[in-house]
Amino acid sequence: MHAVTQPVRLPFDPIARAADLWRARWGPTSRSASMASATSIMRVQQLLIARFDAIAGRHGLTFARYECLVLLAFSREGRLSMSRIGERLMVHPTSATNIVQRLAAQGLVERVPNPDDRRGAFAVITDAGRVAMEAVTADLEAADFGLAMLDEQQHATLFALLRQVRVGARDFDA
């Protein structure tokens, strides 16, 4: 078994340092603030996914598989097609199929034929899948989704700012 090593904790903020160096090299009119914001978002995403995967891992899941279980639990009939899963999780259909195959191997979903598409199948959440999804959800909530350092107003502000970025990127119809 491999020991999990913690990343080295730096005595400074490397993203702030990069922004300073960016401005020094390309001038005060450079997009150093945009670079720093984008890099910060990407780093926070890495930190959160690592934390979420560790939490889900305690229940034999990855965060991606957990998201699929939540998606199925939230669906009206507890089932969705592979293409709909990929669309909602914003992953390639092949990735959605892989996620569902792994969940099926764990007994957390069943694949059933789609009567409207002979080549297609539905993923259906099982009772065991609901139990696993609820357990991971409880642990994520207990960890405040890794964002306990923010208060309610900061959450609202952060969500609004990130939503603006998503709208600007045409991620969805606003």
Domain count across the chain: 1
Which tens digits make up the pLDDT trace of 97-124?
A: 999 999 999 999 999 998 888 888 899 9
Rounded to the nearest 5°, which phi and psi values hold at 2? -90, 140
Q: What is the mean pLDDT of the chain?
A: 93
Q: Has residue 96 been placed in a domain?
A: yes
Q: Has residue 113 been placed in a domain?
A: yes
Q: Has residue 153 been placed in a domain?
A: no
Q: Has residue 90 been placed in a domain?
A: yes
**Within a 10 A sphere around the Cβ of 162, how many other Cβ atoms?**
11
Q: Has residue 103 been placed in a domain?
A: yes
Answer yes or no: is pLDDT of 162 > 90.
yes
The string of DSSP letters for 93-104 reads HHHHHHHHHHHH
Q: Has residue 32 been placed in a domain?
A: no
Q: Which residue has the higher pLDDT, 119 or 54?
A: 54
* CATH number of the domain residue 78 falls in: 1.10.10.10
Which pLDDT band, with edges at 50, 70 and 90, does 13 fall under?
very high
- Token duo for residue 169: 């990127």
* Predicted structure pTM score: 0.86
Q: What's the domain range around 88?
A: 63-133
The length of the chain in residues reads 174
Q: Has residue 5 been placed in a domain?
A: no
Q: Has residue 83 been placed in a domain?
A: yes
Answer yes or no: is pLDDT of 129 > 60.
yes
